[in-house]
Structure 1
Amino acid sequence: METLNIGNISLTWLDGGVTHMDGGAMFGVVPKPLWSRKYPVNDKNQIELRTDPILIRKNGLNILVDAGIGSGKFSEKQKRNYGVTQESNLKQSLAGLGLTCEDIHIVAMTHLHFDHACGLTEYHGDELVSVFPNARIIASATEWNEMRHPNIRSKNTYWKENWEAVKDQVNTFDHAHQLTEGITMHHTGGHSDGHSVIVLEDEGETAVHFADLMPTNAHKNPLWVLAYDDYPMTSIPQKQKWQAFAEEKDAWLIFYHDAIYRAVKWGEDGEITAFVKREGK
């Protein structure tokens, strides 16, 4: 498991599963000859997208960023459609750190699309139960509202199986929410109306988790937004805003979906100057 320290904040990437999504959809209107230079693509025009939660530890708290795709939640058809070649091994990852799901204090949900939220619940027989029974689940109020009342476009990604069993654990915020000193969620919209980024700051060091505003390192260009973005003209200025913040702070950018890099820093020329690579990549 890869790790990164931001001052006294420790980050560890867990194994939340993997999907393979259409590359064209993941890069929107960007022509394939451009994006395929920056991110590998298979013969089905799919790109590998990890769904790996990040365990953040500070001040005695165990904070999980998003929840992975879970296990036992997909039909065979869904596995084919979403290119799921491996389901979550989150419990095994936590066990390797001497933790269980009961030890998670907070689950910070950048948004509640199925590839981030399926890991919140699991089947015990025919009943869905919470995977993290002792945790507060934090999401923006806008995202929580749409999760429960999806529209004709979003109903395919907001699943009742992922929220009904945990509704009593959910806490919401409007604009920003401090998870603990130095770790704050900020509502951005864009990818979804309730999407959030997470900023980590400690001892003069900074990291920004762009979540699905920048799902991989190849999405650095502010104009390279997803066809899956519900509000792309919100995504663009939000990417610009938080990229400017990251540049000013010489911040790490950390990823949930990237199959190659866990975290990167970019120099003034746009080249990667520091990185944490996924094991085996």
Structure 2
Amino acid sequence: MEQLTIGEYTLTWLRGGVTHLDGGAMFGVVPKALWSKKYPVNDKNQIELRSDPILIQGNGKNMLIEAGLGKNRFSDKQKRNYGITEESYVEEDLQKLGLTTSDIDAVLMTHMHFDHAAGLVKWENDQEVPAYEKAVIYVSETEWEETKHPNIRSRNTYWEQNWKPAEHKVETYAKELEPAPGIKLTRVGGHSNGLSVVTIEQGDDMVIHMADNMGTHAHQNVLWVMAFDDYPMDSIAVKQKYMDIGYNNEAWFTFYHDYKYRAIKYDSRGEKIKAVEKQS
């Protein structure tokens, strides 16, 4: 398991599952001739996308960013459609760290699309129950409202089975929340109207987790946004803002979906100077 230490906090990437989605959808209007130079694609035009929660440990807390795909949360048809080749090993990875699901204090949800939220629920004695028994699930008010009342477009990704059994664990916030010292969730919109960025600040060190506003390292260009984005111009504005902050502070940018990189640090010109790569 790959790790990154930032001040009082240790970040550990857990195995949350793998999808293979259409590369064209993941890069929107960007021509394949350009994006395929930066991210590998198979003969079905699919790209590998991990769904790996990040465990944050420090200041007496165990928190997750996102929830992964979970286990037995998808039908065979859905597995084919979404190119799911691996389900979650989060519980097994937690055990390797001497933890169980009951040790998780909070789950920080950037947004509630199925590939981020399916792992919030698990099967137990033929019933769907919260996957993290004692954890608070933090979601922005805007995101939570659309999760419960999706529109004709978003209902294809906000699935009731991913939130209804854990609804009583959810706590919302309007704009910003600090669940632990130096860690913030800030609602910014873009990929979804309620999406939040996670930042960690420890002295001169900083982590920026833009979630699907910068889904992979290949989305570094501020204009490269997904066809899945509900508000692409907002996605671009968010990237401009946080890229400027990150470059000028040599922050770590962390990833949930990237097949290769867990985190990358860029200099003031946007050149990669350090990286944490996924181990094979």
| 1:270 positional shift | 3.1
Aligned partners of 1:261, 1:133: CA distance in 2, in Å? 30
RMSD across aligned C-alpha pairs, in angstroms? 0.8
> Which shows bigger deviation, 269-278 or 188-197?
269-278
Aligned partners of 1:217, 1:111: CA distance in 2, in Å? 19
Match status 1:20 vs 2:20: yes
2:134 maps to 134
* SS of alignment partner, residue 78 of structure 2: helix
| 1:269 positional shift | 4.0
Aligned partners of 2:23, 2:139: CA distance in 1, in Å? 28
Give the length in aligned residue pairs. Answer: 280
Aligned partners of 2:43, 2:104: CA distance in 1, in Å? 39
| 1:233 positional shift | 1.1
Aligned partners of 2:38, 2:103: CA distance in 1, in Å? 38
Matches within 5 A, 1:111-130: 111-130=111-130
For 1:62, the aligned partner's letter is N
| 1:271 positional shift | 2.7
* SS of alignment partner, residue 112 of structure 1: coil
Aligned partners of 2:182, 2:214: CA distance in 1, in Å? 22
| 1:203 positional shift | 2.7
Structure 2 unaligned residues grouped into runs of 5+: none
Aligned partners of 2:250, 2:268: CA distance in 1, in Å? 10
| 1:267 positional shift | 2.5
* SS of alignment partner, residue 73 of structure 1: coil
Aligned partners of 2:35, 2:15: CA distance in 1, in Å? 26
2:151 maps to 151
Match status 1:254 vs 2:246: no
Say whether the 8 Å CA contact 1:8–1:203 is kept in structure 2. no
Match status 1:219 vs 2:215: no
Aligned partners of 1:41, 1:228: CA distance in 2, in Å? 18
1:106 maps to 106
Identity fraction in percent: 54
Residue deviations 1:36-95, cap 9 Å, x none? 011111111111000000000110100100000000010111001000000001100100
* SS of alignment partner, residue 225 of structure 1: coil
| 1:268 positional shift | 3.6
Matches within 5 A, 1:25-64: 25-64=25-64
Matches within 5 A, 1:260-271: 260-271=260-271
Match status 1:2 vs 2:40: no
The TM-score with structure 1 as length reference comes to 0.98
2:68 maps to 68
Runs of 4+ in 1 over 4 A off after TM superposition: none
Structure 1 unaligned residues grouped into runs of 5+: none
Aligned partners of 2:126, 2:186: CA distance in 1, in Å? 36
For 1:135, the aligned partner's letter is A
